[in-house]
Amino acid sequence: MYKKQNRDKQKDIRVVSLEDLVPKDHLLRKIDRAINFDFIYEEVKGLYSEAEWGKPGIDPASLFKIVLIQHLYGIRSMRQTIKEIEVNMAYRWFIGYPLNEQVPHFSTVSYNFKHRFNTASVEYIFRWVLKAAADEGYLDTEAVFVDGTHIKASANLKKQARKAVPKEAKRYAHELF
């Protein structure tokens, strides 16, 4: 015999804290404790308007945390990253978005990296984050694997030449911008 699950319970309203939904030992909690992302505000201060009119910009620390989530968890596209953030409580907690607040649209994240931030500031911020993560022991800097080239498949057995197709070292930065 089995107990049939009551699907009506999915509609129950409960008072719950996002803080309580994220495990205490989750990687993103550890990173959040180890790295103070407040330095980002100083780095991008001149890129945001001080005027009180219009819609406020998206928190720049959240934007960088979104991209960090994408890299940490190997998510292939910004569109998929945003979909994952919409349903993952730890991701939401990390970027500072409660359950009842809509996360930024993937095109908004891309737009900010393409039009608001410059390459130098993005590289500086990510280098700082990576250094802070390494200093706290979250990165193993002894072994780094880089995929630098793609080998074009040669299905013709009579053709002996192999042609290497170079891959951009900064592919992701290029896609982001």
pTM of the predicted model, to two decimals?
0.72
Per-residue pLDDT of 102-157, as tens digits, reads: 999 998 888 888 878 888 888 888 888 888 888 887 766 565 556 555 555 555 55
Burial class (CB in 10 A: 0-12, 13-18, 19+), 138: middle
Question: What does the alpha-carbon distance between residue 95 and residue 44 come to, in Å, rounded to a whole number?
Answer: 17
**Which pLDDT score, from 0 to 100, does residue 165 have?**
41
User: What is the SS3 assignment for the chain?
Assistant: CCCCCCHHHHHCCCCCCHHHHCCCCCHHHHHHHHCCCCHHHHHCHHHCCCCCCCCCCCCHHHHHHHHHHHHHCCCCCHHHHHHHHHHCHHHHHHHCCCCCCCCCCHHHHHHHHHHHCCHHHHHHHHHHHHHHHHHCCCCCCCCCCCCCEEECCCCCCCCCCCCEEECCCCHHHHHHC
Beta bridge partner(s), residue 165: 150
Q: Which pLDDT belongs to residue 175?
A: 59
Q: Are 122 and 173 in contact (CB under 8 A)?
A: yes
- Count of Cβ atoms closer than 10 Å to residue 59 Cβ: 16
Residue in this structure with the two tokens 């800097």, named with its chain if needed:
141
pLDDT in tens, 13-71: 888 888 999 999 999 999 999 899 998 988 888 777 666 665 667 888 999 999 999 98
